[in-house]
Amino acid sequence: MPVVTIDSVGQFAGQTVTINGWLYNLREAGKLLFPIFRDGTGTIQGVVSAKENSGAFEALKGLTQESSCIVTGRVNPDARAPGGFELHVETIDVVQRIPDSDPYPIQLKEHGPDFLLENRHLWMRTPRQAAILRIRAQVVHATRNYLDAHGYVLTDAPMFTPAACEGTSTLFEVDYFDEGKAYLTQSGQLYIEATAASLGRVYCFGPVFRAEKSKTRRHLTEFWMCEPEVAYAGLEDIMVLGEHLVSHIVQDVVAHRARELEVVGRDVSKLAAVCPPFPRISYDEAIAVLQKSGKDVKWGDDFGGDEETVLSSQYDRPVIVHHYPAAIKAFYMQPDAERPDRALSFDMLAPEGYGEIIGGSQRIHDYNLLLERIRQHGLSEKAFQWYLDLRRYGSVPHSGFGLGIERTVAWICGTTHIREVIPFPRMLYRIYP
Ligand code: ATP
Ligand code: MN
């Protein structure tokens, strides 16, 4: 018997196949049993009749939820069945029966978020969570594919760093042998500015760590970021890359993860609209929009989640906000030649209130200006010698951004909290399991 996955049973209509899976649910109706099996690729309803198949009936009757089992049966097209097929069970081999005395903790009913997070290692088996993890994998795949296909070279940045990019307050500290303190990276950017000067177009893609005490539905302490960096590129170039990359990711998920988007209940028509060009507004315009809508903000303020939601809710696709005040942005951002109080920077805000998914900028390429900024920010000149070297030897204008993977997945899936879109979330008050 061919061993098949549930997502491919359609190719085996009328044939007898074997599925390696788990019992997701069981409905008993007298002499008929209606099990639902899952195997990680989907779910399928089965049917077993006591009259026709007493062996399978006895093996399945009373079988507990999440018991592992190998099922063989005929694939019957059935318009009423979810997925369009039903499994006419012939044999069932129970691999592990979960005893009635110690049932699977997650029943098919509503549970509170704390309970589910405490049981994340089991919670991830539910169809909705499995669908989210598949969509996440597709987002990562699409991100890499797009950049690889457009000449960007993957150059990994280190996780251990000797000094802070932007101050130590949001860094996790570790003891590093005789070298003293090291920090877990919060961005690979500074390092890939070096690899960009070596290779032209590069990106890094890995976990980053932030010790900020944000307890919001958008913040994790460990998350994944994809950071492209491009030599000989200005703000305009990098904004265009951002909108093309994000629309590619969304359309790739729509094309390849339709079933999963349905499982999570996503309105796909909203995602289909996500294609370039994205609307753009300057920070100055954004302030005007916010003031008009009654927000108490003035020029120079940074935007929080509420402001971002007001701005993004005006559009059906992500909006790019550019030219933020230099004072609220990082030390390495290139000032606008006409108005040096503004940085050549941009954020991309996802629609439907999902907030910032990208932060990026053109970087300072002038040695003296960068040195001045390092001093102004009270950063260690010694620690940044190598970074200043990039401005001493063949410096060019260059730009890049960071795309937050979990923010992107949360938006694409329409989840209310970012904790659902990473296998094991790390948050202010959670490091188990
Ligand atoms: P925010 O203001 O929303 O906290 P940020 O401006 O500090 O974000 P950046 O340093 O610009 O974030 O990081 C680039 C991207 O990484 C963000 O656009 C966002 O998508 C993502 N990101 C930042 N912080 C977090 C976090 N704590 N958890 C998950 N994703 C994050
Ligand atoms: Mn940002």
Q: Whose CA is nearest to atom 23 of ligand 1?
A: 404
Assign 368 to helix, strand or coil: helix
Question: Which CATH number is 6-96's, of 1.10.510.10, 3.50.50.60, 2.30.30.90, 2.40.50.140?
Answer: 2.40.50.140
Rounded Cα gap, residues 147 and 226, in angstroms: 10
Helix (H) or strand (E) holding 181: strand 181-184
pLDDT value of position 92: 97
pLDDT value of position 81: 84
Assign 13 to helix, strand or coil: coil
- Closest atom, ligand 1, to C-alpha of 359: 11
DSSP β-bridge partners for residue 347: 321, 359
List, as one string, the DSSP characters of 244-274.
HHHHHHHHHHHHH-HHHHHHTT--HHHHHT-
CB atoms within 10 A of CB 296: 7
Task: Kindly state if the Cβ of 220 falls inside 6 Å of ligand 1.
Answer: yes
How would you list the strands of the sheet with 222-231, edge to edge?
A: 153-154, 201-209, 222-231, 398-404, 355-363, 345-350, 319-322, 280-282
What are the residue ranges in the chain where pLDDT is below 70?
163-168
Residues 205-216: b if buried by 16+ CB within 10 A, e if exposed: beebbbeeeeee
Q: Whose CA is nearest to atom 11 of ligand 1?
A: 359
pLDDT value of position 166: 58
pLDDT value of position 164: 56
Enumerate the domain spans of the chain.
6-96, 121-421
Rounded Cα gap, residues 113 and 283, in angstroms: 37
280: burial class by Cβ within 10 Å (0-12, 13-18, 19+)?
Answer: middle
Q: Match 């030390």 to its residue by tokens.
A: 331
Beta-carbon contacts of 180 under 8 Å, excluding residues fewer than 6 positions away, are: none
Rounded Cα gap, residues 419 and 428, in angstroms: 11
pLDDT value of position 91: 96
Rounded Cα gap, residues 223 and 356, in angstroms: 14
Centre of ligand 2 from the C-alpha of residue 321, in Å: 11
Q: Which of 136, 215, 217, 218 to mutate to test the pocket of ligand 1 (most atoms within 8 A of CB)?
A: 218
Question: Which CATH number is 121-421's, of 3.40.50.300, 3.40.190.290, 3.40.50.2300, 3.30.930.10?
Answer: 3.30.930.10
Ligand nearest to the CA of 225: 1
- Closest atom, ligand 1, to C-alpha of 402: 14
Strands 398-404 and 355-363: what pairing? antiparallel
Instruction: Say yes or no: do domains 6-96 and 121-421 share a fold.
Output: no
Rounded Cα gap, residues 395 and 212, in angstroms: 33
